[in-house]
Amino acid sequence: MDIKAQIEKVVESVTKDQTLLNQFQKEPVKAVEKVLGIDLPDDIVNKVIDGVKTKISLDKVSDTFDAIKKLF
């Protein structure tokens, strides 16, 4: 299983759907398994969750930085 591809799929889904993003924030395992459509082993689902959280955080930082750059 390509974990990186699964992370990208989940990030794309949760960033486009506010309800799914809220579910991911409250119940990340259920949200990931809902997006992927499969029940994953705990070690894999935790890697995907960590990757999604990191990617979403980095995207927010990037958006903030871009907004600051526009001010100058």
Tens-place pLDDT, residues 16-61: 999 999 999 999 999 999 999 998 898 999 999 999 999 888 766 5
To the question of pTM greater than 0.95 for the whole model, the response is: no
Cα separations in angstroms, 72 against 22, 54, 58, 61: 34, 28, 22, 17
Looking at the predicted structure, is the pLDDT value of residue 65 above 60?
no
Top pLDDT among 63 and 46 is at 46
